[in-house]
Amino acid sequence: MTQLRKGSFLKRAKDISISSALALTILSSGIGMTGCGSNEDEEAYSYEETNYSKGIRSHIKEVKPGEFKITDEESVEADKSVAIVTYLDGHTDSLSTAAAKALIDDEIRNNQSSVGHHSGLSTMLLYGGMGYMLGRSSNNAYMNNYRGNGSAARGFYADPNAYNKSQGAVQQANASRTTRMVTSRPKGGRNGFFGRSSGRSGG
């Protein structure tokens, strides 16, 4: 049997006591944190969901190399929203709302100081009905900072008739707006809370 001096025995006893106390503290803290997290995960939340049943079909024409004008806009079913672009050489492109958003975002990211100061395709998309409807979504609200009050848009249309018609199309799309309050209790912990989406937007 190994002989321990009195001092060594006391030191070992002290170490064991500290280790036991630390283990109990960690265990108690873990139990407390679990209970708190569970309550937060189970807490219900509410958010406003906004939908539009109407969208915009925009017709854009290249009038000079790299310069465009909006020639016509009309209200269509939301899932048929598109920008139809006709180029000088006669070929056309159909841009979905996702493609239009990508071009607008690229312009804002790379040429922020020149946004709205030229007649490029991204400007037509941003200041036309397509950009207006994109800006109704809370996720795209930053676009409204560049659109301003919308008065600058008039100059990007081929003529006053095209502009006036577009205003009617936008009004029809706005009139199709519906909102509802959604109350939900997340499942699976935090993913339910941080993963929720809100359709809150301006009128």
What tens digit of pLDDT does each residue of 71-82 get? 999 999 999 999
Highest averaged pLDDT of the listed ranges 45-49, 118-122, 180-184: 118-122
Total domain count, the chain:
1
| Domain assignment of residue 161, yes or no | yes
Whole-model pTM: value is 0.66
CA distance 78 to 59: 16
CA distance 29 to 142: 43
Q: Note down the domain range covering 162.
A: 54-176
| Domain assignment of residue 41, yes or no | no
- Distances from the Cα of 99 to the Cα of 14, 59, 94, 122, 123, angstroms: 69, 15, 9, 10, 14
| Domain assignment of residue 34, yes or no | no
Residue 199 DSSP SS3: coil
Taking Cα atoms as reference points, which of 93, 161, 102, 94 lies closest to residue 126? 102
CA distance 88 to 99: 21
pLDDT tens column, 150-186: 677 899 999 999 999 999 999 999 999 998 888 876 6
